[in-house]
Amino acid sequence: MHGAVDPTAARPLRPAAGASPWLRLLRTAVPRKHLLQAVSGLLFGLFGMALPALLLNRRTPDPELLARGLVIGAGIVGWVLLVHGLLKQNTPVAAWLLPGQVRRLRLLLAGGWLLALAAIMTGLPARLQTGPVVLGVAALLAFAGAGMRWLWLWVGFWVVAPFVLVAGGTRLKPGGSLEGWAVAPWLVAAVLMLLGVALTRLLREGGAGHLDRPAGTWMRSRALDPTASVALPASTRWGRWLARLSEAPYHRWLRRCVSRPSSAARRAMLVFGPGAHWTVHLAWSAAVGLLVAAGLAWWLRRGSVEAGLWGPMIGLMSMALNPVFACAQPTRRTEAEQGLLQLAPGVPRGGAWRRSVARHRLAHFAVGWAAGAAGCGLLAQWMPPAMWPGVAVAVAAVLPSVVFVFPDLVQRGSLAGFHRRAALVACGGPVLALGLLHYGGVPAGALVAAAVAVAAAGLAWRWHALGRATPPLA
């Protein structure tokens, strides 16, 4: 479907004059913006998840292991990037491909699937390069592509797969999920069955159904909530149910705010939408925490889970960063609405308005950080006492990223550049702190105090900057 082009949408790469038709098609399908996001996400996964996990376990980073992780990550990110670029053709505003290119796109998708499979198998150790593992990884890649189209498949897989792995006898440990493909054939069978269901449903809908329904959902969600960054959760029945469940506390607060007397500044915060309220983030944190608790309760009955706690712990630590990234886009997309609100009586203007928004953002960050710290503290009860200082240091090292919740930083430069700077600070802080703890001999108490001092200095610096004579947000 070829519709009108949005001037603010991501522009595709400009094909070279002498490039082959396949290369020109690939450059057209994958925008330049998505490539930059993919590289940033790959580096974020390496330095923000792999290195802290190794440092928490007091292990020296192995260059060969990191290289293998980069190869595997490149294969996964490349596949997701290609599928995401092709799914954008379902939206009439972002579509830029011609209908005659559909057949070649299918071949391009199959080639990308094989290349991603080859990259992942190259990064795996030789002992895992077996037939069942190849089948399992290929099925997982295909299933991930289908899960991006139907959210209920993706959510159902990550809820069911760990329990199937444990039932098959695989211990929860780093790399255990990959080894599970060889020892838990039931998981491969379940993935293939669900993938068959997805493909059958796609064929029954036909090309028009596959094209029109996501396009209509995308336009409706954008009309109802202009602050939303993506419409994937609302494109399925399960996604809409999850969205309503997570936004239920926000709507309760909204009814209370409208029905009772409240300040104009507090009501003005409604312009940022439900995704910018701390109750939504707290609801998602509670849902993730309940899933982690249920999984741990099951795994504790099967044996020790000490080696596998680093994964949920890093996920819980990242909850404090959700407000940093989730509040930036609504702030940028509602600049005109914010300017109009400042004309209403009782709404602060200029620096006072920016401080009001900053207080709103600080409440977001405080709730997210407290939820992540509480979850890490509970998980640490199953870890050796020698790892407790590292957990405390890693949680405290996230605090300096609080400076990125201020609205004046969001307005400067591009939003993608802001996200890269925030991710660099959020990842570099824990990595640097854990390195100083384990290899520099710096006491844990001193590192925690330093993180708190840096966060306090950043808060004072940005709070003073909000009152300067800067251009308004509108």
pLDDT band, very low/low/confident/very high, at 229 (cuts 50, 70, 90): very low
Query: Is there a domain that residue 37 lies in?
Result: no
Residue 394: predicted pLDDT: 84
| Tokens, residue 359 | 């207080």
pLDDT tens per residue across span 93-130: 555 555 556 666 677 778 888 888 888 888 887 777 77
In a domain, 289, yes or no: yes
State pLDDT tens for residues 10-41. 444 444 444 566 566 566 656 555 565 556 65
pLDDT of residue 46: 60
Q: How far apart are CA 132 and CA 139, in angstroms?
A: 10
Please indicate, yes or no, if residue 247 is contained in any of the structural domains: no
- What is the tens place of the pLDDT at every residue in 238-257? 666 766 776 777 777 777 77
Question: How many CB atoms are located within 10 Å of the residue 193 CB?
Answer: 11
Q: Which residue has the higher pLDDT, 79 or 9?
A: 79
Helix (H, G, I), strand (E, B) or coil at 254: helix
The pLDDT score that the predictor gives to residue 361 is: 83
**pLDDT of the residue at 177:** 46
134 pLDDT more than 60? yes
Residue 91: the pLDDT is: 55
Q: Hey, is 74 helix, strand or coil?
A: helix
Contact, 299 vs 434, CB < 8 A? no
Please give the average per-residue pLDDT across 323-341, as a whole number. Answer: 77
Question: Quick check: 290 pLDDT over 50?
Answer: yes
Domain residues for 343? 253-474
The answer to whether 322 and 276 are in contact (CB under 8 A) is: no
Residue at 269: amino acid letter: M
Q: Give yes or no for residue 337 having a pLDDT over 60.
A: yes
* 440: in domain: yes
Using the structure block, give the residue that is written with the tokens 């105090």. Answer: 449
Tens of pLDDT, residues 139-177:
777 777 776 666 666 656 555 555 555 444 444 443 344
Residue 221 has pLDDT above 80, yes or no: no
The residue with greater pLDDT, 216 or 75, is 75
Residue 383, Ramachandran bin (φ over 0: left; ψ between -120 and 50: alpha; else beta): beta
Residues 6+ away with beta carbon under 8 Å from 110: none
Chain segment 410-457, per-residue pLDDT in tens: 777 677 678 778 877 887 788 788 778 877 778 888 889 999 999 999
Residues 6+ apart with CB under 8 A from 224: none
pTM: 0.59
- Average pLDDT of span 289-311: 61
In angstroms, what CA-CA distances link 467 with 255, 323, 464? Answer: 32, 23, 6
Is 135 within a domain? no
Asked if residue 17 is part of any domain, the answer here is no
pLDDT of residue 5: 40
And the tokens for 293?
A: 């608790």
The reply to whether 357 falls in a domain is yes
Question: For 143-157, 196-210, 285-299, 362-376, which range has the lowest pLDDT when averaged over its residues?
Answer: 196-210
Average pLDDT of the chain?
68
pLDDT above 60: residue 222: no
Summarize pLDDT for 262-273 with one digit per residue, the tens.
777 777 777 777
Tally of domains within the chain: 1
Query: Does any domain span residue 473?
Result: yes
Residue 453: its pLDDT value, please? 92
In this prediction, residue 208 carries a pLDDT of 46
Look at residue 227 and tell me whether its pLDDT is greater than 50.
Answer: no
**Of 199, 159, 161, which Cα lies nearest the Cα of 181?**
161
Residues 368-397, mean pLDDT to the nearest whole number? 81
Residue 180 — pLDDT band, cuts 50, 70, 90? very low
pLDDT score at 385: 80
The pLDDT assigned to 354 comes to: 83
